[in-house]
Each structure stands twice: as structure tokens, then as C-alpha cells.
Structure 1
């Protein structure tokens, strides 16, 4: 018969081991959000080296959750890992880069909106409306990442939901990838423009709900065009040459 201590260690009633992963995940998520805010707010400057040990000391955590956070930020496109030199914050997109990004979005997203107007399921239409309602309930964001984070997340969900409702998997994937690149510019097209963004989204939703594909495409085109104008007005200057 195995010793009693082994049986106790394997006792399913002992919740200590089961509680550890959620606690660790919560810490990892918290560190990720804190470092992401530092990058988005330029507390970690574009192109600057990101030291794991220094960040761990500043955040009063071990290096492990910092490494995990930086791996996630690398997949977000906000940091890059280079051999022998570690992590660095990515450089900002240039004005030309931003314009090219929106040029691609203008080619794809109006088409996605037009297809969504004729292909969306009832469940998808309900989901798009719910996202819009959540955006309408959000306070107007300011230029700090902590303020606009939730609004920007809803904005991304909105565009991805339109893409998914088009029922074109390749188009949906392209829309998601292009929208994710906005992080690299360190700006959000909703900063200081919560009201206009919501109003533009409302016009898109009305057209999609009514099945008007041409109007949906036009509304999306207008939204993206104005979004680019806001981005360029707020910070579209060429970054300094490194």
C-alpha cells in the first residue's frame, strides 16, 4: 500500500496546484498590459532596447512573466527580438507606411462591408450591433493607452466582425492582419475621436442591417478615409531617422 503522504499529495480535494496556473496567468496578463502601455505611450521609446532584468526590477516581478510578455508583444508587432541584442521596441511606421496601410484597408474593408450586408447571419448581425452598443457606452478616450485601450479593442472587434460576416475566409484574415498593424504606429484612430468613430460605425451598421451592400461599402470607405485623416492630423509626421 503506498504511503499515506503520497495519497494526500494526489488528493483531488487539494486545490493548491489547481490554483497556481490561474494566478500565474493573471500575473502574466498584468505584466503584458503594463509593458504594452509603456510601449504604446512611448515610455519605452521606438527603437529602444527593452531589458528584461531592468523591467523585472521596475515592475517588481521575476524575469519569467516579463519574458512571457515580451514574447506576446513580439507576436503583436510591438517589439522585435534580435540575436545577441535582445528585444527592442519596433520603430514607428512612417507617414508613407501609414498611408500604404490605409490604402490596403480601403481596398479590402469596403468590399468586406458590402459582402457582410448580404451574407451576415442573424447571429453575426446581433454581434455587430452589440459591439456598436458597447462602443456607444464608452467614455470618450484621450491620448493615454490606458484610456483608449478598451475603445480600441472594441474598434478592432467591430472591423473583424464585419470581416467575418463577409464569409470570405481569406478576406477576413487579411482584414485582421491589416488592422493589427495599427499597433505598430502607436496610435489609434479612435484617440480623441470617439464620437466621430461611433457615428461612422453607426452608418456602416445601418447599411449592413438593411442589406444595402453599396451603402455599406460607401460608409466603410468614408470611415477609413476620415480615420486616416485623423491619424495624420494627430501624429503622422515622419519619425526621426535613427
Structure 2
């Protein structure tokens, strides 16, 4: 299995900022993985990364532990960390099939079981819009991805079922394995679809919320599938 020198992977890597060292190392290594600066399946060279980021190996190891929980790297005994492989098309479609089942149910529950005040409070922040910042690669859509994840998690929380929420969170995190192929033109479509979901949940109409979430995820799946063609 190949192991690439850190300096040869990406010209955009920069030394970590000292004021937010742990978070900055995590985001920097995550960006490398999302942009294939460290290709899928490759071993992560902790010493090379720490030299390149001008930090000790400790925050790099901490970052990799977090990235393992994100599903972006895997740790094997005596072999260290390797970057997780990309999803196949079949795996990706199965993932969305499951998201449709779980998140449509969560939206319906959120509309019919959460108090109106809780729905208004949670969705007011979660439905805020964000634009792509124009930068190439992962950093160009990182904020969009974070807000999208927050939106879906807020609805899962309103559903009032912790196991359902945890299952949805894990599935959404796995979308990061579809890295480097994120459709850069989906912000407008996603925003309009989110607005329809919010309206249905705030109206208290469980069936409408189910349909709005289902329509959103079916459309999102179609947009992402273009990357496999």
C-alpha cells in the first residue's frame, strides 16, 4: 500500500495556527483527505504530517482519532491509520435508501410531536442559508456541508427519538466518503428544498413533512449520482 510524502501531496497545506491548534490540525488533515491529498486506501504518515504542519505528533494523532469516528480513516493494529475507501455506487444508493426511510420518518415526527415553539427555535437557526465561497476543493463547500448536517440533525433531534437521531447522524457523516465529487451547484436547490421541509414541519403536517424530506433526499441522491457517471 502506497505511502506518500506529505510535502508531495498538496501545495495548499499550511502550518497549523497555534491559537486553535487541535481544531486546525483536524480541519487541515480532513481537507487533505476530502481533496484526495492523501488518496483513498493510503497510509497516513503521522511523522511527515507533523513536520509539514510544524506541530508535534500528538495533535495529529488526536485529529486522526476524530477522523476515525467521522469514518474518514481506519485504524488497524500494528499498521496505523489508512484513509477509508470511497463508496461504490451501490453502497451510495443503499446509503440514501436508508436515509430516505429514517429521515422522512424523523421529519414527520418532528412536525407532529415537537412543540411549535421548539420547532420554531430549532429550525430558525438550522435553516439559515450559506453560499459556496468560491475556493476550490473541500474548503469551498465546508461551511455548506456543516450547515446541511446541522439542518438534518436539528430535525432528527425534534423527532424525540435518540436512537433515530444517532442513526441519522452516522449516515450523514458517511456522506463525507463521497469526497471530492460534491456537486458545486447544489446550494440553491438544497436551500429551496430545505425551505419546503421547514414549512411542512412548522405547519404540523406530518405527511407533508415526510413528503418534503423524501423529495429532498431523492433529488440530492440524483445530484450526487452524477459523480459516478
TM-score of the superposition, structure 2-length normalised?
Answer: 0.86
Aligned counterpart for 1:109 among listed residues 69, 82, 103 = 103
Contact kept, 8 Å, 1:46 with 1:91, in 2: the verdict is yes
Is 2:223 aligned against 1:223? no
Aligned to 2:124: 129
Contact kept, 8 Å, 2:100 with 2:214, in 1: the verdict is yes
Offset from partner CA, 1:82-107 (integer Å, 9 cap, x none): 12221110000100000000010111
TM-score of the superposition, structure 1-length normalised?
Answer: 0.82
> Runs of 5+ in structure 1 lacking a partner?
1-22, 238-242
CA change 1:160–1:236 in 2 (3 A) is same
Give the drift of 1:172: 1.6
Deviates more, 1:92-101 or 1:121-130: 121-130
Partner SS state of residue 121, structure 2: helix
Is 2:92 aligned against 1:64? no
> Runs of 5+ in structure 2 lacking a partner?
1-16
4+ residue stretches of structure 1 with deviation over 4 A?
A: 187-190
Give the drift of 1:56: 0.9
Contact kept, 8 Å, 2:119 with 2:201, in 1: the verdict is no
Aligned to 1:139: 131
Larger Rg: 1
Distance 1:232 1:170 in 2: 28
Offset from partner CA, 1:139-160 (integer Å, 9 cap, x none): 2356621111111111011111
Partner SS state of residue 87, structure 1: strand
Contact kept, 8 Å, 1:207 with 1:213, in 2: the verdict is yes
Is 2:225 aligned against 1:232? yes
Offset from partner CA, 1:53-93 (integer Å, 9 cap, x none): 01111111111111111111111111111122211100001
Aligned counterpart for 1:81 among listed residues 75, 80, 88 = 75
Contact kept, 8 Å, 1:117 with 1:208, in 2: the verdict is yes
Q: How many residues align?
A: 211
What's the C-alpha RMSD, in Å, of the aligned pairs? 1.9
Aligned to 1:7: none
Partner SS state of residue 20, structure 2: helix
Contact kept, 8 Å, 2:35 with 2:180, in 1: the verdict is no
Distance 1:168 1:189 in 2: 30
